[in-house]
A and B are shown apart, each in its own frame.
Chain A
Amino acid sequence: MSSPTKPLIPLAVLPKNELGLTVRDYEGAMSTLCAGCGHDSVTAAITQMYFELSMPPHMIAKLSGIGCSSKTPTYFVRGAHGFNSAHGRMATIATGANAANRELSYIGISGDGDSLSIGIGHLSHLMRRNVNMVYVLENNGVYGLTKGQFSASADIGSRSKRGVPNIVAPIDPIMLGLSMGATFLARSFSGDKEQLIPLLKAAVAHKGMALIDVISPCVTFNDHEGSTKSYRFMREHEVKEIETDFVPWQQEISMPHHKDDAREIIMHDGSAVRFRSVPEGYDPRDRQKVEEYIRERHERGEIATGLLYVNEASSDVHEMNNTPEIALSKVPFSKLCPGSSALAKLQEDFR
């Protein structure tokens, strides 16, 4: 079962970005996921996002763990450097890669099994360390590749395809992130590209670990009546009260209608994330209020989507460790090795 390559010949003349690349240049291999899988929509959004940002493909590092979601990095930006690691361990690989080379744009794709069960420890510490990367959690409440077991994000009472209800409490990655000191927390729905693309752009611009929890229905194992992660359930229960538009500092890509209550968050690179239709008093920078808001929505059976929390003031792992601006992997050996005279001198301490 190999991944066939998509034909590169465009059917029509496609628009080009600043680098002269078309959206096709940001695509990858043909998806081998089930037809209608929510993950493919996320892949499409990521593809579009990098195209619109004019990100040089070779400056992207895409990583994943194991699971349906973790297969998807092959399906976008073929010119990016990819690492499909082990189940739950993507965060650790990404941390090391980022430590060695801070110059790249890192994106990790994970799922709810990968992130909230086997890898929850690593996810938690990734947030604490504030490693500068985008972390997309494609959340469908189910283990697809092993045929439909509940994951740790499955809601109580949600029914599996065999009709068995889930009886253990779900883990909400956003609430987890709030308690772990995450600096960027967003939620979206795989079927809502209009919201997802600006969120992804904001996540790329964010200096630190940016988690986007994307509810992404599993058409095969979790899209039935009784599931709380189905397309139907999501369309009926999603509250998009917090909408985000990403406005790059250099050039505006899509300008929303201005509203009087619009609020801008300036990202570290000077670009701005804009909120619309924010409920009165909502401030994504106020952790306590954010937490209250999400709980309150949850109790009403609603899923708040959008940029839920952001803190642009905190340091990322490199700032915390005072590393140079260039990649550590590029520091020349002459600066790393103290040499023979230093060795002779330091051995005086071992007499």
Chain B
Amino acid sequence: MTTTIPDRAASDTSLEKVNNFAVKLANVNGTGSASANSLLMQAIFRMGIPVSGKNLFPSNIQGLPTWYEIRVNKSGYTARALDYDLMVAMNSQTYAEDIKEVASGGYVLYDSSWPLDAHLLRDDVTFLGVPLAKMCLENFTSSRERVLMKNIAYAGALVALLDLDLEVIATLLTESYSRNEKLLASNQKALRLGYDYAMQNFECPLALHVAPMDETAHSILIDGNTASALGCLYAGATVAGWYPITPATALMDNFTALCAKYRREPVDSNVPGAPDSYKNNYLILQAEDEIAAIGMVLGASWSGARSFTSTSGPGISLMSELLGLAYYTEIPAVIFDVQRTGPSTGMPTRTQQADILLCAYASHGDTKHILLFPANPHECFDFAVQSFDIAERFQTPVFVLSDLDIGMNDWVVPELTWDDDFVPDRGRVLDDQDLAGIAEFFRYTNEDGDFVTPRTVPGSDSKGAYFIRGSGHDKFGKYTEVPAEYQEVVDRLKKKHAAAAHAVPAPLEVRRDGAHVGIITLGSCDLAVREAIDELAARGIVADYLRVRGFPFVQSVRQFVEDHEHCFVVEQNRDAQLRSLIALETEVDINRMRPVLHYGGFPLSASQVVDAVTATLEVRP
């Protein structure tokens, strides 16, 4: 049954392949492969081994090619790998390209119910044929199960081939299907079919396999959208306006689910559990478009609620007008931009960091916004909480720029923590008592050291009533067309924005002795860049590292550029947007920074950074 092409010689690198390999699974979307793939990834995580899973999926519901990549790395390098040691080729449409991608000496697992075309075969890889379709046809009766269970069957084969802990897998299946005994039984059966076949027909485990470690005991496996939603829950957000968009939809789906679980307050009722037995301490509005979504956020924030929206690039484009209104009238707002590939519709299921400049200067006229750049789901949680504090402290929109890679993929990150003494910073809001103590209230006077002026919320005493206007206004909030009065307000806004540099998360900087190269990056490039720095060090190139985590920038960003003879800025867009923003805002010479750009839509890999840096330095290791 196995189509084993000449046995490859016993690899002298086989030891290196324990807990150090990458698997790519090529599937057809809509066939149920996602749950099998994440099952494998989750099992490796539970075995205590650093691991990542990247879902490279099409903007489609059923029938197009989709891939899932699992990278196992004992040293914790879990950025996207480009060398695949094992290809699970389940999509005959893409056999040719998938088989081509396997590293020499690697393996291809395929469905041997049908023979592989001879032209697909390679001498330097091992083909492992498992008759998945045939097995499922013989063992399952419904057509639906025959398709679905193929996935669990190949997962079963991989359990044997990669030496995954069968007990861990069994537990995961039980947890997943605890409410559906029949489905659980089918899954267990399919898993066993694949497992037994592999055990009987191949020498298990392969040279590349896993061995239990203890590296994930204090970690969780979570995607950024879930973590961001948790942050909003913990920050006390009560009103959300949103419009469905990939890849941000799951953020609000998660927030909705979390609210249903944690925000229902019991009220007196004769019938516990009845719809009138609780009240929802939240209101989530699915808007008619992103314009309405941000409008709702502004209305709610104006009224004193913590409010947010989640969207992606096209949504930011639509929101731009009202973002300018929020900036100019000084209304807090939190906007999650889970970035995808632009421009226009672009590639909705592919990742990019190409909304940096859009968000930094969103809206017409002179506008500047505060941006936060989380690099992983852990930071999504922390930054989500901070974003509300910063938005209310500075009375302005705050963008949390995540991306599809962070938002939709499961990441292994340290456990989230919460300080029960946390008190939200609601900023300068005058209540009726405060108003009673002042002679007169004017909206844009009495600024503090950060150039923030106190506000009131609707419902407060008429002494604090004022009229918000997006039209020209003076510091008293009154309509004006007088140049000096207009300028006084917008000049303060500029200073207020600059003052926020110390409120956003500080850059993370790692300096090394003897470094003559500096690498600046942001967001989801983090893991790949840090791996690249280690790889460069192994090649004799010592590089310092700086990851910006917020905008406006603090002085150390400019300093970092000036301190390095060779400074690279690694980011995922075509136009070197972070580099431009640093040059524009710190006034450092743009030519001191060399762009390293990756923007095809898939997550960044360390080798791409290493190649770009070494090519530029003309170092040939």
Q: Which of B281, B417, B459, B470 contacts A101 (CB 8 A)?
A: B459
The answer to whether A35 has its CB under 8 Å from any CB of chain B is: no
Nearest Cβ distance between residue A5 and chain B, in whole angstroms? 10
A-B pair count, CB < 8 Å, reads: 228
Which residues on B sit within 8 Å (CB–CB) of A61? Answer: 303, 458-459
| Contact of A122 with B458 in the complex, beta carbons under 8 Å | no
| Contact of A351 with B46 in the complex, beta carbons under 8 Å | yes
Nearest Cβ distance between residue A90 and chain B, in whole angstroms? 8
Contact A343 to B418, CB < 8 A, known contacts A57-B465, A328-B239: yes
Nearest Cβ distance between residue A69 and chain B, in whole angstroms? 15
- Nearest opposing residue in chain B for A106, CB measure: B458
Which residues on B sit within 8 Å (CB–CB) of A318? Answer: 283
Nearest Cβ distance between residue B225 and chain A, in whole angstroms? 13
The answer to whether B238 has its CB under 8 Å from any CB of chain A is: yes
Which residues on B sit within 8 Å (CB–CB) of A103? Answer: 459
The answer to whether A81 has its CB under 8 Å from any CB of chain B is: yes
The answer to whether A160 has its CB under 8 Å from any CB of chain B is: no
The answer to whether A288 has its CB under 8 Å from any CB of chain B is: no
Contact A97 to B300, CB < 8 A, known contacts A58-B462, A324-B265, A335-B281: yes
| Contact of B46 with A347 in the complex, beta carbons under 8 Å | no
| Contact of B283 with A83 in the complex, beta carbons under 8 Å | no
| Contact of A58 with B295 in the complex, beta carbons under 8 Å | no
A331–B283 Cα gap in the complex (Å)?
Answer: 12
Q: Which of B285, B470, B481 contacts A85 (CB 8 A)?
A: B470
Which residues on A sit within 8 Å (CB–CB) of B300? Answer: 96-97, 99-100, 329
- Nearest opposing residue in chain B for A101, CB measure: B303
Which residues on B sit within 8 Å (CB–CB) of A124? Answer: 288
A47–B87 Cα gap in the complex (Å)?
Answer: 74
**For chain B, which range describes its interface: under 10, 10 to 19, 20 to 34, or 35 or more residues?**
35 or more
| Contact of A59 with B459 in the complex, beta carbons under 8 Å | yes
- Nearest opposing residue in chain A for B413, CB measure: A350
Which residues on A sit within 8 Å (CB–CB) of B265? Answer: 324, 335
Q: Of A61, A78, A97, A338, which is in contact with the most chain B CB atoms at under 10 Å from its CB?
A: A97
Which residues on A sit within 8 Å (CB–CB) of B298? Answer: 85, 92-93, 96
By DSSP majority rule, is chain A's interface helix, strand, loop, or mixed?
helix
Q: Which of A1, A97, A327, A329 contacts B481 (CB 8 A)?
A: A1
- Nearest opposing residue in chain A for B241, CB measure: A96
Nearest Cβ distance between residue B203 and chain A, in whole angstroms? 32
| Contact of A82 with B468 in the complex, beta carbons under 8 Å | yes
The answer to whether A110 has its CB under 8 Å from any CB of chain B is: no
| Contact of B283 with A323 in the complex, beta carbons under 8 Å | yes
| Contact of B479 with A96 in the complex, beta carbons under 8 Å | no
| Contact of B299 with A99 in the complex, beta carbons under 8 Å | yes
Stretch from B193-201, B419-427, B571-579 contacting the other chain: B419-427
Which residues on B sit within 8 Å (CB–CB) of A322? Answer: 275, 278-280
Which residues on A sit within 8 Å (CB–CB) of B237? Answer: 336
Q: Of A2, A85, A121, A336, which is in contact with the most chain B CB atoms at under 10 Å from its CB?
A: A336
A328–B275 Cα gap in the complex (Å)?
Answer: 19
The answer to whether A207 has its CB under 8 Å from any CB of chain B is: no
| Contact of A329 with B222 in the complex, beta carbons under 8 Å | no
- Nearest opposing residue in chain B for A28, CB measure: B467
A346–B233 Cα gap in the complex (Å)?
Answer: 13
The answer to whether B269 has its CB under 8 Å from any CB of chain A is: no
The answer to whether B535 has its CB under 8 Å from any CB of chain A is: no
> Which residues, 275 to 315 on B, are CB-close (under 8 Å) to A?
275, 278-285, 287-289, 291-305, 307
Q: Which of A98, A321, A325, A337 contacts B299 (CB 8 A)?
A: A98
The answer to whether A239 has its CB under 8 Å from any CB of chain B is: no
| Contact of B295 with A321 in the complex, beta carbons under 8 Å | no
By DSSP majority rule, is chain B's interface helix, strand, loop, or mixed?
mixed
Q: Mark B451-468, 1 if CB is under 8 A from A, else 0.
A: 000001111111011111
A205–B469 Cα gap in the complex (Å)?
Answer: 28
The answer to whether B321 has its CB under 8 Å from any CB of chain A is: yes
A92–B325 Cα gap in the complex (Å)?
Answer: 13
- Nearest opposing residue in chain B for A89, CB measure: B295
Contact A324 to B262, CB < 8 A, known contacts A96-B296, A122-B292: no
| Contact of A121 with B288 in the complex, beta carbons under 8 Å | yes
| Contact of A125 with B292 in the complex, beta carbons under 8 Å | yes
Q: Mark A307-351, 1 if CB is under 8 A from B, else 0.
A: 000000000011001111101110101011111101110110011
Which residues on A sit within 8 Å (CB–CB) of B416? Answer: 343, 347
Which residues on A sit within 8 Å (CB–CB) of B478? Answer: 2-3
Contact A84 to B470, CB < 8 A, known contacts A58-B460, A96-B307, A322-B279: yes
| Contact of A78 with B303 in the complex, beta carbons under 8 Å | no
The answer to whether A74 has its CB under 8 Å from any CB of chain B is: yes
| Contact of A96 with B297 in the complex, beta carbons under 8 Å | yes
Q: Which of B299, B423, B466 contacts A96 (CB 8 A)?
A: B299
A322–B481 Cα gap in the complex (Å)?
Answer: 45
Nearest Cβ distance between residue A56 and chain B, in whole angstroms? 8
- Nearest opposing residue in chain A for B481, CB measure: A1
A329–B459 Cα gap in the complex (Å)?
Answer: 11
The answer to whether B183 has its CB under 8 Å from any CB of chain A is: no
The answer to whether A305 has its CB under 8 Å from any CB of chain B is: no
A103–B458 Cα gap in the complex (Å)?
Answer: 10
A129–B286 Cα gap in the complex (Å)?
Answer: 10
| Contact of B279 with A324 in the complex, beta carbons under 8 Å | yes
Q: Which of A101, A121, A129, A350 contacts B305 (CB 8 A)?
A: A101
The answer to whether A80 has its CB under 8 Å from any CB of chain B is: yes
| Contact of B292 with A92 in the complex, beta carbons under 8 Å | yes
Which residues on A sit within 8 Å (CB–CB) of B487? Answer: none
The answer to whether B415 has its CB under 8 Å from any CB of chain A is: yes
Nearest Cβ distance between residue A100 and chain B, in whole angstroms? 4
Q: Which of B295, B467, B468 contacts A122 (CB 8 A)?
A: B295
Contact A82 to B220, CB < 8 A, known contacts A99-B239, A322-B279, A340-B419: no
Q: Which of B46, B295, B461, B481 contacts A95 (CB 8 A)?
A: B295
A342–B415 Cα gap in the complex (Å)?
Answer: 13
Nearest Cβ distance between residue A249 and chain B, in whole angstroms? 24
| Contact of A85 with B295 in the complex, beta carbons under 8 Å | yes
The answer to whether B234 has its CB under 8 Å from any CB of chain A is: yes
Q: Mark A88-129, 1 if CB is under 8 A from B, else 0.
A: 010111111111110110000000000000000110110001
Q: Of A1, A59, A83, A101, which is in contact with the most chain B CB atoms at under 10 Å from its CB?
A: A83
Contact A328 to B282, CB < 8 A, known contacts A73-B467, A100-B299, A347-B220: yes
The answer to whether A79 has its CB under 8 Å from any CB of chain B is: yes
Which residues on B sit within 8 Å (CB–CB) of A317? Answer: 283, 285
Q: Of B293, B459, B470, B478, which is in contact with the most chain A CB atoms at under 10 Å from its CB?
A: B459
| Contact of B305 with A329 in the complex, beta carbons under 8 Å | yes
- Nearest opposing residue in chain B for A58, CB measure: B462
The answer to whether B501 has its CB under 8 Å from any CB of chain A is: no
The answer to whether B583 has its CB under 8 Å from any CB of chain A is: no
- Nearest opposing residue in chain A for B222, CB measure: A350
| Contact of A351 with B220 in the complex, beta carbons under 8 Å | yes
Contact A82 to B465, CB < 8 A, known contacts A2-B479, A121-B289, A338-B233: yes
Chain A to chain B: the 9 pairs with minimum beta-carbon distance, closest first: A92-B295, A96-B299, A79-B462, A96-B296, A100-B305, A82-B467, A100-B303, A81-B458, A97-B299
User: Can you identify 21 A-B contacts, CB atoms within 8 angstroms?
Assistant: A74-B479, A79-B465, A84-B468, A92-B299, A95-B299, A96-B297, A97-B299, A97-B302, A97-B458, A99-B285, A104-B458, A122-B291, A323-B280, A327-B303, A336-B238, A338-B233, A338-B262, A340-B418, A343-B416, A347-B415, A351-B46
Given contact pairs A92-B295, A321-B280, A343-B234, a sample of 10 additional A-B residue pairs in the complex whose CB atoms are under 8 Å apart: A73-B467, A79-B462, A92-B287, A92-B293, A93-B298, A97-B299, A327-B459, A336-B263, A340-B418, A347-B415
